[in-house]
């Protein structure tokens, strides 16, 4: 009998990967499957970024780098944060990590233990809760409500903070809802947080460059009062269509940067060197591919929202960020996970059931519109036909 720690009785996972595996399995059997399940852009990484990695390999970048990342890349991250958020940062506080997910892993490990509470958005990215539970900390869901356009509420968030709260996780633009929290709400939250100086904040801004209808992304980095306790999570995966490269970056406050560096040294030594050079080319090179991708997502967003709202029993708010639609399916009479599974097995459309994103996810499904407009239209037709003839 092997005795692993009890955290493994509680650790969860990301069902989007299980759905992806099943979708691929069905496709392998010759079934026509449209995948609106997994959250990754359907574009190739821009060519100049790929070339930079190839060049780095040819130039002999084959060894370890500094654990926190190569200096020019950390400087480029600081320059990028200045360009996008108007905030000066020290490249010495930047850590290059193997994917955005790793920042949340590190931050939750730093603050989670039995007796500690960690607040996280629900519905939200499933790894937040999974990792909180792994550490033995108590996961406290911050409800993200449809009637609030899937923005978080400053008042509700602040009302959940207690003397046990160590870390508050925020995510805007958000997965799985596409919600973007407006400036007024963020300012209110930041003002309220001044009453809780011992609570650290992890701001997951991985979708920071994907907002629509003129909606601005407000980075928590803008607020001086948080700077000594803010962990910023961002990266290349979504913005530059680089999910498979495993490239993310985080910014740590002075009090945590050395702990973050030590975690890196203990776990992965450094991020793949050629990938870091690709990341450098992404930040310092032309940004038109990013804009083109967001424009394309915007067009598809309208197709998916209009199409969903035309289906009886489904209603869908217009998401203002990321590349997800999160329709309310309560009037179809289906339970969300059963519907997601039936849509994949019977209609050949992969989507994710809301409960995979939290205890408040029942009654919703998530569709990623990172797929061609034609595929999205076909998938919507299939969903409609399925609902018309199905029995629950
Ligand atoms: N944060 C959120 C909210 C996400 O949706 C994702 C990926 O889906 C990540 C972080 C992780 O991104 P990465 O693939 O860079 O690890």
Q: What is the pLDDT along the chain (392 residues), one digit of tens a residue?
A: 899 999 999 999 888 888 889 999 999 999 999 999 988 999 999 999 999 999 999 999 999 999 999 999 999 999 999 999 999 999 999 999 999 999 999 999 999 999 999 999 999 999 999 999 999 999 999 999 999 999 999 999 999 999 999 999 999 999 999 999 999 999 999 999 999 999 999 999 999 999 999 999 999 999 999 999 999 999 999 999 999 999 999 999 999 999 999 999 999 999 999 999 999 999 999 999 999 999 999 999 999 999 999 999 999 999 999 999 999 999 999 999 999 999 999 999 999 999 999 999 999 999 999 999 999 999 999 999 999 988 66
Q: What is the largest CA-CA distance in the chain?
A: 61
* pTM of structure: 0.97
Model pLDDT, residue 298: 97
Tokens 């029942």 belong to residue? 362
**Among 125, 170, 176, 326, residue to substitute to test ligand 1 (most atoms within 8 Å of Cβ):** 125
Model pLDDT, residue 392: 61
> Is 129 close to ligand 1, i.e. is its CB under 6 Å away?
no
User: Token pair of 90, please?
Assistant: 């020290």
Model pLDDT, residue 15: 86
Model pLDDT, residue 14: 87
Tokens 């609902």 belong to residue? 387
Model pLDDT, residue 352: 96
Strand order in the sheet with 324-325: 324-325, 365-368, 352-353
> Is 39 close to ligand 1, i.e. is its CB under 6 Å away?
yes
CA distances from 293 to 117, 127, 181, 371 (A): 38, 26, 22, 12
> Is 246 close to ligand 1, i.e. is its CB under 6 Å away?
no
The answer to whether domain 63-284 has CATH 3.40.50.10240 is no
Model pLDDT, residue 207: 98
254-267 vs 100-111: helix crossing angle, rounded to 10? 110
> Is 237 close to ligand 1, i.e. is its CB under 6 Å away?
yes
Domains 7-44+288-389 and 63-284 share a fold: no
**Among 150, 175, 180, residue to substitute to test ligand 1 (most atoms within 8 Å of Cβ):** 175
Model pLDDT, residue 391: 64
- Ligand 1 center to residue 93 CA distance, Å? 21
Decide: helix, strand or coil at residue 99.
coil
Out of 3.90.1150.10, 3.20.20.70, 1.10.10.10, 3.40.50.2300, the CATH code matching 7-44+288-389 is: 3.90.1150.10
- Ligand 1 center to residue 178 CA distance, Å? 13
- Ligand 1 center to residue 197 CA distance, Å? 27
- Ligand 1 center to residue 206 CA distance, Å? 6
Contact present, 206 and 233 (Cβ < 8 Å): yes
Q: CA 228, 176, 168: angle at the middle one, nearest 5?
A: 25
> Is 185 close to ligand 1, i.e. is its CB under 6 Å away?
no
Which ligand 1 atom is nearest residue 243's CA? 14
Tell which phi-psi region holds residue 246, choosing left (phi > 0), alpha (psi between -120 and 50) or beta.
left
Model pLDDT, residue 38: 86
> Is 181 close to ligand 1, i.e. is its CB under 6 Å away?
no
| Buried b / exposed e along 134-144 (16+ C-beta atoms within 10 A) | bbebbbbbbbb
> Is 243 close to ligand 1, i.e. is its CB under 6 Å away?
yes
Which ligand 1 atom is nearest residue 14's CA? 8
Residue ranges in the chain assigned as alpha helix (H)? 7-10, 15-28, 47-58, 71-85, 100-111, 126-135, 154-159, 183-193, 254-267, 273-284, 288-309, 336-342, 373-389
**Among 105, 217, 238, residue to substitute to test ligand 1 (most atoms within 8 Å of Cβ):** 238
Which ligand 1 atom is nearest residue 104's CA? 10
> Is 120 close to ligand 1, i.e. is its CB under 6 Å away?
no
Question: Hey, where are the domains in the chain?
Answer: 7-44+288-389, 63-284
- Ligand 1 center to residue 70 CA distance, Å? 22
């Amino acid at each position: 009998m092997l005795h692993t720690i009890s955290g493994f009785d509680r650790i969860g996972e990301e069902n989007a990967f299980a759905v992806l595996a099943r979708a691929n399995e069905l496709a392998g059997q010759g079934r026509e499957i449209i995948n609106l399940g997994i959250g990754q852009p359907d574009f190739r990484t821009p060519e100049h970024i790929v070339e930079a990695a190839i060049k780095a390999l040819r130039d002999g970048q084959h060894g370890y780098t500094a654990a926190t990342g190569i200096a020019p890349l950390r400087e480029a991250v600081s320059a990028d944060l200045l360009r996008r958020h108007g905030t000066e940062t020290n490249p010495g506080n930047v850590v290059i990590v193997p994917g955005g997910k790793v920042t949340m892993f590190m931050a939750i490990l730093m603050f989670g233990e039995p007796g500690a509470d960690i607040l996280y958005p629900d519905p939200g990215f499933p790894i937040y809760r999974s990792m909180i539970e792994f550490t033995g900390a108590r996961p406290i869901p911050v409800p993200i409500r449809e009637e609030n356009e899937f923005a978080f509420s400053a008042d509700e968030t602040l009302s959940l903070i207690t003397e046990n709260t160590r870390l508050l996780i925020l995510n805007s633009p958000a997965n799985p809802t596409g919600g973007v929290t407006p400036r007024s709400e963020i300012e209110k939250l930041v003002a309220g947080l001044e009453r809780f100086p011992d609570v650290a904040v992890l701001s997951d801004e991985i979708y920071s460059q994907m907002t629509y209808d003129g909606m601005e992304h407000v980075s928590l980095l803008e607020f001086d009062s948080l700077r000594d306790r803010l962990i910023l999570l961002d990266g290349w995966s979504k913005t530059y269509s680089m999910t498979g490269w495993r490239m993310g970056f985080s910014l740590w406050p002075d009090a945590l940067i050395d702990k973050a560096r030590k975690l890196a040294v203990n776990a992965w030594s450094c991020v793949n060197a050629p990938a870091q050079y690709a990341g450098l080319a992404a930040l310092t090179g032309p940004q038109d591919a990013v804009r083109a991708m967001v424009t394309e997502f915007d067009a598809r967003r309208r197709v998916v929202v209009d199409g969903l709202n035309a289906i009886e029993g489904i209603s869908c708010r217009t998401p203002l960020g990321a590349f997800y639609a999160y329709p309310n399916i309560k009037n179809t009479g289906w339970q969300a996970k059963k519907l997601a599974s039936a849509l994949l097995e019977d209609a050949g459309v992969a989507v994710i059931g809301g409960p995979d994103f939290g205890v408040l996810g029942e009654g919703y499904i998530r569709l990623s519109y990172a797929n061609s407009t034609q595929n999205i239209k076909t998938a919507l037709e299939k969903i409609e036909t399925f609902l018309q003839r199905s029995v629950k």
